[in-house]
Structure 1
Amino acid sequence: MIYDGVRVVDLTSGIAGAYCAKLLADLGADVVFAEPVDDALFTYLRTSQRYAASPSGYLEHADVVLVGEPGRAPTGSPLVTVSITPVGHGGPDDGLELPEEVLQARSGSLSIHGHAHLPPLTVGGHLGEYVTGAFGALGAATAWFRASRTGTPEHVDVSMLEAMQMTLAVTPTIMARFPGGRLMSFRWVMIPGNEPTGDGRYVGITTVTTQQWLSLCDAMGRPDLKSDDELTTMLGRFTRADEVNGIIRGWTGTHSADEIVDALVAARVPAAILGNGRELPRNPQLAARDVYVRQPGESWIRPRAPFRFHRIADRELAPPGVAGVPWEATARPARPDA
């Protein structure tokens, strides 16, 4: 793998640091972590890594160290230090410990999630932490590429707030500052969206363009709606949400999810059955690419690494292990080829 021989010590706790370490391990790094595994999620995140209750013996010869506590500096002399904190270093809030829910509010994410006449919705699934971990891994890999060539230590300062602002809330926070942009945000829901079907499932339907809406009208057997100019725009449908939702759900509620998707795909309207943990492994596209693999040492399946190399074999997976003898002082591995 690309980062074979790169020695990583993860001193963080929580999903963001663990996901960062997971991505580095997927690239071949030898990762030692300090927080014990106590559930299935972290069993997955710590695959092919090793646990050390006291990682101090590994810090001396680590190449990359992940830290999560504001202001915490690792011992030893790692070429790369990655700090993953709620707001980053510097500024009046440096050192604050803020949960993801508060960071989503600060990032502007809540300003666009949820229905206009209901309270804003927090994005679930710890998505902000996973996004932060991905940015951390990108920063670590980039810094290692440079530091291993120059010999100059690098520090990667990853802010959860900034990562979430750039991914969960980019539209209201960035576009509002464009010339002529709104200085306030508003929440609205795309119509159609995730619609219930007659067989108890849900189908996601998207009509971004006017033609997609007109094609949906034909598929529903309601060509009369095509002459209503207000309904050809997303905002127009939103202002008449109760009426339009009633029409759409009156149609989807009398057909199965498969029937709806087949009809809409034939009409060139983007649509898909909402995936869930039961159905995703059977998705033909995901199955063809072997996305789901068995967790080593367990009976359940999990996603493989979210990337593939065409000329490099995937790393062989192993269950989380226990670290043995600390690393010795060896020559640092050569930097990855460009």
Structure 2
Amino acid sequence: MTAMSDPETSDTGSAPLEGIRVLEWSSSIAGAYAGRLLCDAGASVTRVGGAETLGHGRHFDSYLNHGKMRVSGDLAELRRSASSVPADIVVLELPDAPDRDLLSGFGDTVVAVISPWGLDGPWAGTGRPWSEFTLQAEAGSLTWRGSMSKYPIMTGSSEGLWVAGTMAAGAATAALQGGGEGRILDVALLDATVYTTNLFHSVTASVSRPSRSPRPRRRLTPSVEPAADGWIGLNLASAQNHEDFVVLIGRPDWLDDEQMRTFEGRYARRAEWTAAVRSWTVRHTVQECIDALAAFRIPAAPVHSGATILEDPQVVAREFYEPHPDGRFMAPKPPLLFDGVRPRRRKAAPADGPPAPTGRRPVASSDLPFDGLRVVDLGTWWVGAYVGSALGAFGADVVKVESTRRIDGSRTMGGVPVTRDHWWECGSFYLGANFNKRNVTLDITQAEGRELLVRLIEDADVLLENFAPRVLESAGLGWDEVHRINPRLVMLRMPAFGLTGPRREMVGYAQTVEQFSGLCWRTGYPGGDPTNPQGPADPMGGANSFFALAAALLRRRVTGRGMLVEAALAEGALVMASEQVIRWTADGELLDRAGNRAVEAHVQGAFRAGGDERWIGISVLDDGQWKALVDVLGFADWHEDHELRDRVGRQAAADRVEARIAEWVAGRKPEDVVDRLVAAGVPAGLCTDPRWIHEHPHLAGRGSYELTELPWAGTIPLPTLPFRRMGQPTWLTRRPPTLGEHNHEVLVGELGLSEETYAGLVERKVIGDAPAGFR
């Protein structure tokens, strides 16, 4: 891509969006955090309007809005402001799809529209009532979380909203680098919540075609377990982890027990398994557990709350929390670094009024923002895969590099047995997150493989990876060497805990950083164990990384120079859990698990309907919805009940209110209950089975899944990115590649290897098309 020069722009690497002007109209965490991220990366953000409060208290609002300018106005004023002093980006969050006339008035400004249902589809523009909780119900998030002896539970930290806002900021920063088309971005909260919380269950079901009978809710095992002085989070990510762990806890007899080698088997004998695990964990402190597990590289982390995270040595060493400028609480710093420097927030908000135009509008020769960009993708699992697929969706040529000795672990997810033909091409996480790429295999532990990787890097614009920091560095491909090889390259590194700090080398996956960050602490039943929300740390990490990379690429257009971008997986999760630290340091309030209840909801819960394992979610967020609920239920006496006159009273009486609602719902068909409540203006949603989420009437009508023919998994509906770019009919231009599918195309056709040399690489197993030992 051709670099632009701008002699009047300072080379402030840690503020890559310096000079970009943003207007924000937000009504939840999603829109406000999109503006927060853009502001953190150096953009000038003006908040014109939206909700006066985000429902989480003034300190939380202050964290999200600090450093933004404030002007008062309506939506017409927002549009006038965007035209009078040209804005680069508008973040527009509304309770439903806006009038198309409003959008047409923004000219060539990039507009990220955040709404519950998106700009099209059967529910868009209908005024259908909703809440974050009912979005989780419709998305399939609730169905498998919790205990079969109780009700299903939501995630506790608004994870879907955080991810939606982060994706909006990243998509807008990418779209800014394209031509005149595709400037409207459609970010639907339902799509984002599905992507964030349902773990590609629909892909798993489409490949394996299980029975449609309800599947039981169950906790991961092992996951969060009690220790002598707190809680320890565990994750057995591999067969080797399992073998080491059972020896560590004193049960070597389980090494030959086939049932105990699988999650399904352990769950079938969960009482026996849990007793053995906890008999070991409770005899040790959290740190003793971590030290013992780390010796075997078993992923583990302390399970933090808003109080204990502040003392964790990793966040202390990285100085991740800082006093908010008003001095009343601690808040997280931006979860990204550019050339080793974390962006520094302004000490005070700028004076009211719009900034002068900068004249720094990006120019591109193609409508696709990243057309011509060459990417070497070493990303693994979900977080790394998202970044590469998003780059490909915006036009980049993405070459995913694996090794036959160490395939991407996401290929093993989805329960496909190794006896199935080409089982490694059927992993649900791999198929769900690796479209728009080519695939080559290189064993970089061999000199020839490393040399070929270097040749790919020499001609690339981007190198991305999310290994443990030691992996590339031990191969002699740390940032200094990569920068020497290609000074124009932007390198994105996504370690679990960061490139620095005492936990630098700790192994970590989404489950691990959910435990570490506080996301587990807020998810669960009141008085019960902390519970993994199951997944959101990965898409948040991927979205955060994509935003940082898009900002760095925009900066490179100005400077022509490469940059190191760091986006630690754990720090994205810490942002999602930030309300806990803010409340603790501001008011001494320790936020805890609350099941499905929420401070902003008068009534909120999941209720069994229809007599079997079917549930609906109901929220009441204001007095009008309360009256409508009472009228639908026919509980006229509640209108006269003095205790239920306001939100505080209704929350205090939650047990009896929920019990009576549950009794009314139990004898009715769930679809009928939801239809009646929605027609009356009460947020309600069916608790969808995530295995069949692609059949959801709104998502299917919106085309959120694309039917894709795959060589070994069959023709199945695949999710793509959970947002749209208007004028771009599909995100999926390439199906997920098979292992080594493009070895010849890239190595011979593009790097110029001879056929003889290529054959030698195959013979010496430097390259291949099957995992080692399976061909």
Q: Shorter chain as normaliser: what TM range?
A: 0.7 to 0.9
Give the alignment's Cα RMSD to 1 decimal: 2.5
CA contact (8 A) 1:78 1:153 kept: no
Which residue number corresponds to residue 209 of structure 1?
A: 238
Is the Cα–Cα contact under 8 Å of residues 237 and 299 in structure 2 kept in the other structure? Answer: no
What corresponds to 1:13 in structure 2?
27
- Work out whether 1:65 is the aligned partner of 2:90: yes
User: 1:245 maps to which residue?
Assistant: 274
Gap change, CA 1:181 and 1:289, over 3 Å in 2 = farther
Match of 2:143 in 1: 111
Judge conservation of contact 1:43–1:319 (CA < 8 Å) in 2. no
- d(CA) in 2 for partners of 1:311 and 1:21? 23
Residue identity opposite 1:58 in structure 2:
S
How much has 1:79 moved relative to structure 2? 1.1
Equivalent position of 1:293 in the other structure: 322
Residues 151, 217 of structure 1: alpha-carbon distance in 2 compared, 3 angstrom cutoff:
closer
Cα distance in structure 2, aligned partners of 1:105 and 1:49: 33
Matched residue type, 1:158: V
**Residue among 265, 270, 286 paired with 2:294:** 265
Measure the CA separation in 2 of the matches of 1:125 and 1:319: 27
- Residue 47 of structure 1: which of 66, 71, 81 is its match? 66
Q: Does 1:221 align with 2:250?
A: yes
Mapped contact 1:25–1:48 kept (Cα < 8 A): yes
Q: Give the 3-state SS of the residue equivalent to 1:176 in structure 2.
A: helix
CA distance in 2 between counterparts of 1:49 and 1:139 reads: 20
The counterpart of 1:79, out of the listed 109, 113, 119, is 109
CA deviation after TM superposition for structure 1 residue 136, in Å: 0.6
Task: Report what 1:304 is aligned to.
Answer: 333
1:194-246 Cα shifts (integer Å, max 9, x gaps) = 001122x1001122333322322222223333343311211111111122112
Check whether the contact 2:118–2:187 (CA below 8 A) recurs between aligned residues: yes
What is the SS of the residue equivalent to 2:253?
helix
Q: Determine the structure 2 residue equivalent to 1:188.
A: 218
Separation (CA, whole Å) in 1 of partners of 2:69 and 2:202:
40
Match of 2:262 among 213, 233, 252: 233
Counterpart of 2:359 in structure 1: which amino acid? R
Structure 1 residue 334 corresponds to structure 2 residue 361: yes
| CA 1:280–1:182: 2 relative to 1, 3 Å | same
2:233 aligned counterpart, secondary structure: strand
**Preserved contact between residue 88 and residue 361 of structure 2 (Cα < 8 Å):** no
Deviates more, 1:308-317 or 1:242-251: 308-317
Tell me how far apart the structure 2 counterparts of residues 302 and 31 of structure 1 sit (CA, whole Å).
19
Task: State yes or no: 1:23 paired with 2:46.
Answer: no
| Deviations, residues 305-326 of structure 1 (Å, cap 9, x unaligned) | 11110077724423445623x4
Return closer, same or farther for 1:311/1:224 CA change in 2, 3 Å cut-off.
closer
Taking a change above 3 Å as real, the CA distance of residues 210 and 87 of structure 1, as seen in their structure-2 partners, is same
**Alignment-derived partner of residue 188 in structure 2:** 159
Deviation at 1:11, TM superposition (A): 1.4
Report the TM-score when normalising by structure 2. 0.40
Q: Whole-Å Cα distance in 2 between the matches of residues 241 and 296 of structure 1? A: 49
Q: Is the 8 A contact 1:128 1:164 kept in 2?
A: yes
- Does the 8 Å contact 1:81/1:156 carry over to 2? yes
When residues 313 and 230 of structure 1 are mapped into structure 2, their CA distance, relative to the original with a 3 A threshold, is: closer
Aligned partner of 1:92 in structure 2 is: 122
CA contact (8 A) 1:6 1:332 kept: no
Ranges in structure 2 where 5+ consecutive residues have no aligned partner: 1-14, 363-553, 558-775
Q: Give distance in 1, aligned partners of 2:290 and 2:106.
A: 57
Q: Do the aligned partners of residues 183 and 296 (structure 1) sit closer, same or farther apart at CA in structure 2, a change above 3 Å counting?
A: farther
| Rounded Cα–Cα distance in structure 2 between residues aligned with 1:139 and 1:183 | 38
Structure 1 counterpart of 2:88, one-letter code: D
Write the mapping of 1:111-190 to structure 2, written as runs, cut at 5 A.
Answer: 111-146=143-178, 150-151=179-180, 154-178=183-207, 180-182=208-210, 184=212, 186=215, 187-190=217-220
Shifted more, 90-99 versus 278-287: the winner is: 278-287
Alpha-carbon distance in 2 for matches of 1:256, 1:232: 26
- For the 8 Å contact 2:320–2:332, the answer to whether it is kept is yes
Contact 1:165 1:173 in 2 (8 A): no
Deviations 1:147-179 (A, max 9, x none): xxx35571011011111212211321233223x
Closer, same or farther: CA 97–21 of 1 in aligned 2, 3 Å: farther
Which secondary structure state, in structure 1, belongs to the residue aligned with residue 337 of structure 2? Answer: coil
Q: CA deviation at 1:272?
A: 1.6
What are structure 1's unaligned runs of at least 5 residues? none
TM-score, normalised by the number of residues in structure 1: 0.88
Change (3 A) 1:163 1:154: same
Deviation at 1:80, TM superposition (A): 1.1
Paired with 2:296 and 2:60, the residues of 1 have a C-alpha distance of 40
1:15-69 superposed Cα distances (whole Å, 9 cap, x missing partner): 1000111111112111111244661111111121111122726333222222222
Whether the aligned pair in 2 keeps the contact of 1:112 and 1:169 (CA below 8 Å) is no
Classify 1:242/1:142 alpha carbon distance in 2 versus 1 (closer, same or farther; 3 Å).
Answer: same
Q: How far is the alpha carbon of 1:280 from its aligned partner?
A: 2.2
Q: Would the aligned equivalents of 2:159 and 2:196 in 1 still touch at CA under 8 Å?
A: no
The one-letter code of the counterpart of 1:182 is P
Distance (whole Å) between structure 2 residues aligned to residue 268 and residue 315 of structure 1: 34
Higher mean alpha-carbon deviation, 44-53 vs 291-300, is at 291-300
Change (3 A) 1:133 1:313: closer
Percent sequence identity over aligned pairs: 28
Deviation for aligned residue 1:247: 1.9
3-state SS of paired residue (1:81)? strand
Q: Aligned partners of 1:331 and 1:298: how far apart in 2?
A: 33
Contact 1:58/1:327, CA 8 A, preserved across alignment: no
Contact 2:19–2:358, Cα closer than 8 Å, also in 1 = no
In the alignment, the residues of structure 2 paired with residue 76 and residue 211 of structure 1 have an alpha-carbon distance, to the nearest angstrom, of 55
**Cα distance change of structure 1 residues 68 and 220 upon mapping to structure 2, 3 Å threshold:** same
Match status 1:318 vs 2:347 = yes
* SS of equivalent residue, structure 1 residue 67: strand
Cα distance 1:129–1:31, how it changes in 2: closer, same or farther (>3 A)? same
Q: Secondary structure at the match of 2:27?
A: coil
CA distance in 2, matches of 1:5, 1:309: 17
Asked if 1 retains the 8 angstrom alpha-carbon contact of 2:142 and 2:152, the reply is yes
Pick closer, same or farther for the CA change 1:278–1:312 going to 2, 3 Å: closer
- Which residue type is aligned with residue 138 of structure 1? G
Indicate if the aligned counterparts of 1:281 and 1:292 stay in contact, CA closer than 8 A: yes
Distance 1:153 1:214 in 2: 51
| Alpha-carbon distance in structure 1 between the residues aligned to 2:64 and 2:257 | 51
Shift of the 155–183 alpha-carbon distance from structure 1 to 2, 3 Å rule, reads farther
